[in-house]
Amino acid sequence: MKVYQESWLLNRYALGLAKKLQKEGTLTTAQAEAAQKLHADLPYSPNVFIKALLFIFGFIGFGFGGSFFTLLLIGDANWGLPIGALLYGGGTLFGLIHIIRQRKLYFSGIDNALLYCILGSLGPVFMKVSEISNFKEPWQFGLLYLPFLLMAVYSFGEPLVALGLFFDFLFIFASLLVKHPLGKAFLPFILSGVSVALFFLMHRFSKRRIAFYWQTALEWALPATLLCAYLSVNYMVVRYANASLNDLPMPAPEIQFAWLFWTLTFLVPLLQLGLGIRLRDRSIIVVALISALYSIITYRHYHSLLPLEWGLLLGGLILASLAYALLRYLKIPKLGFSVTPENSKNNLLQTVVLSHLTKTTQSAASQEVKMGGGDFGGGGAGEQY
């Protein structure tokens, strides 16, 4: 059962399209107003800060309501908590569906918070089941959660729950693989392959009209699969995972076929970048950049490429120059990309980052001052002291 009405999402999409076309002059004001009337049945999806408020107070309400409920109901020390949590979670789910329909909520913060809480309330029940069934391995606990996460993703299409489902599946799969010597030996390639296969399956699904209901979940899950595909074959991750799985002493010793993993560490970000450009997908390009950054960190972890200061200086220079060159190059759209200004302005982020940078630089300078000017680590050696 889909909890949100798909017509709300369609109306929201249509209205966004109408506004954009009106701004560009493709639709007249009269046409845009007619579209607005036609698509008036919209969900309540507020500003990010209102969402944050609803999210925080949703959590507070659920948490303290839970403790209040448990105090009233708990009697049996053995089954009191699991049954209480189940009843409370079930009641909240009922209330949540009611409030979503009544208030037309769609990822408004409160519905996200309550969904996480409802899934969390299954925890005590599953722990009890694990205890009774004498489960010894964590993946069995994950397996209990899997169908509920699947149902939640189907019904709500919530992006964080979708990520939870993906990672839960991957965790169970990897846990079963390492039980067999062959599975353990090929773990990086199998995990990477499964992630890539999931990416293409989901990507193909995302092109179909019926996938529209899960668009946000897919927008989150698709880059996550590619990031996993990369991390599974990243040299540093594989080397540490190999030591951890085989109980080898730290620091993690060298692995077999190191050259292959080094190649993949640098090849996969390039492939991701190519894929991002080919599919005209910004999020894949961001994943490629994150992967490339992690590849540099990996290389620096094992080899002294450049001193940090030169790395920062040259890296910053190359990054800024490339970004600037691309900003100029794409003024006339090419390869399906442009640099048309978008509505989202990261003013808050800019304020926070620059404020911290200023504070850090000033603090560093004033500390130097207070040291009395002792050269290079000779803090306190100045004549003032």
Partner 1 sequence: MNPLSEILTQWQTHEIVSPASAETIKQSENARPVSLYTLLRNLLYIGLVLFTSGAGMLIYLHIDTIGHDALIVVLALLTLGCFFYTYRHSPPFSISEVNSEGKFVDFVLLLGALLFLSLEGYAQWRYSLFGTRYGLAAFLPAAVFLFCAYRFDHRGVLSMGLTALASWAGLSIAPLEVLTGNDFGSTQIINTAVGFGLVVGGVSFGLAHRGIKTHFTNTYLILTGNLFFIGALAGLFTSDYWFLYALLISGCCTFFVWYARQKQSFIFLLMAILYGYIAFTYLLFSKIDDAGFWMVFGGFYFLASAGGVVMFILNYKKWLTN
Question: Given the structure tokens 């899950």, which residue do they identify?
Answer: 221
Q: How far is the CB of 141 from partner 1 (least distance, A)?
A: 28
The Cα–Cα gap between 204 and 225 comes to 14
Question: Collapsing DSSP states into helix, strand and coil, what is residue 299?
Answer: helix
Cβ closer to partner 1: 133 or 321?
321
Minimum CB–partner distance for residue 205 and partner 1 (Å): 9
DSSP state of 334: B
| Token pair recorded at residue 84 | 């209480």
Residue closer to partner 1 (CB basis): 257 or 310: 310
Planar angle of CA 265, 266, 272, nearest 5 degrees: 95
Min dist. Cβ of residue 308 to partner 1 (A): 7
CB-based contacts of 238: which residues, under 8 Å, 6+ apart? 188, 232, 255, 261
Closer Cβ to partner 1, 56 or 197, answer by number:
56
Q: In the numeric block, which tokens belong to residue 188?
A: 């990086």
Rounded to a whole number of angstroms, the minimum distance from the CB of residue 305 to partner 1 is: 14
For partner 1, the closer of residues 98 and 179 by Cβ is 98
Of 245 and 322, the one with the shorter C-beta distance to partner 1 is 322
Smallest separation (angstroms) from partner 1 to the CB of 355: 4
**By CB neighbour count within 10 A (0-12 exposed, 13-18 middle, 19+ buried), where does 201 fall?**
exposed
What values do phi and psi take at 9, rounded to 5? -70, -40
Q: Which residues, including other chains, have CB under 8 Å from residue 61's CB and lie 6 or more apart?
A: none
Q: How far is the CB of 318 from partner 1 (least distance, A)?
A: 8
